[in-house]
Amino acid sequence: MSEPMSDSAMKLMVVILDQPELIDDLITGYLDLGVQGATVIESRGMGQIVRQEMPMFAGLASLFPESTGSRMVLSVMPEALIDQVFGLIEELVGALEQSNSAVCFTVPVDQFRGIRH
Amino acid sequence: MKLQSYVAAELTWVMDGAGSCEALLAELAERIAQTVGGDAAALLAALTARERQRPTSTPEGVAFPHAIAEGVTESHVAVVLLGEAVEFDTVRHERCDVVFVLVGPPDAGWLHVRTLARLARICHAGGADRLRLATDDADLYRLLIEEDQRHV
CATH number at residue B45: 3.40.930.10
pLDDT for the residue numbered A8:
64
Count of structural domains, chain B = 1
* Stronger pLDDT, B90 or A50, i.e. the higher one: A50
Least CB–CB distance from B152: residue in A2, A88, A117: A88
In B7-151, alpha helices (H) = 21-36, 40-53, 109-123, 127-131, 137-149
Query: What are the domain boundaries of chain A?
Result: 10-71+81-108
Q: Decide if B111 and A2 are in contact by the 8 Å CB cutoff.
A: yes
What residue of A is the nearest CA neighbor of B116? A32
* Mean pLDDT computed over B24-50: 94
**pLDDT tens digit string along B42-65?**
999 999 999 999 999 998 999 999
**pLDDT tens digit string along B101-125?**
999 999 999 999 999 999 999 999 8
A68 Cβ under 8 Å from any chain B Cβ: no
Position B92 pLDDT exceeds 80: no
What residue of B is the nearest CA neighbor of A33? B1
* Mean pLDDT computed over B88-113: 89
What residue of B is the nearest CA neighbor of A88? B152
pLDDT for the residue numbered B127:
96
Query: For a pLDDT cut of 90, what percent of chain B falls above it?
Result: 84
Q: What span, in angstroms and rounded, lies between the C-alpha atoms of B111 and B107?
A: 9
Non-local (6+) Cβ contacts of A71 within 8 A are: A16, A17, A20, A23, A40, A41, A42, A43
Q: What span, in angstroms and rounded, lies between the C-alpha atoms of A105 and A109?
A: 13
A28 Cβ under 8 Å from any chain B Cβ: yes
What residue of B is the nearest CA neighbor of A83? B152
* Mean pLDDT computed over B132-138: 98
What is the distance in angstroms between the Cα of B22 and the nearest Cα belonging to chain A? Answer: 28
Least confident of A4-13, A66-75, A108-117, B49-58: A4-13
Q: Which fold has domain A10-71+81-108?
A: Alpha-Beta Plaits (3.30.70)
How would you classify the pairing of strands B96-104 and B76-86?
Answer: antiparallel
Confidence band of A29 (pLDDT split at 50, 70, 90) = very high
ipTM exceeding the 0.90 mark: no
Chain B residues whose CB is inside 8 A of the A87 CB are: 152
A87 Cβ under 8 Å from any chain B Cβ: yes
* Mean pLDDT computed over A21-29: 97
Phi-psi region of A47 (alpha: psi -120 to 50; beta: other; left: phi over 0): alpha
* Mean pLDDT computed over B23-42: 94
pLDDT for the residue numbered A47:
87
Q: Decide if A1 and B114 are in contact by the 8 Å CB cutoff.
A: yes
What residue of B is the nearest CA neighbor of A36? B110
**Selected residue of A32, A83, A88, A104 to mutate for chain B interface (largest B Cβ count, 10 A):** A32
Range of the domain at B48: 3-149
- Is residue B77 within 8 A of residue B7, CB to CB? The reply is yes
pLDDT for the residue numbered A7:
54
Q: Decide if B121 and A32 are in contact by the 8 Å CB cutoff.
A: yes
A77 Cβ under 8 Å from any chain B Cβ: no
Q: Decide if A34 and B113 are in contact by the 8 Å CB cutoff.
A: no
A70 Cβ under 8 Å from any chain B Cβ: no
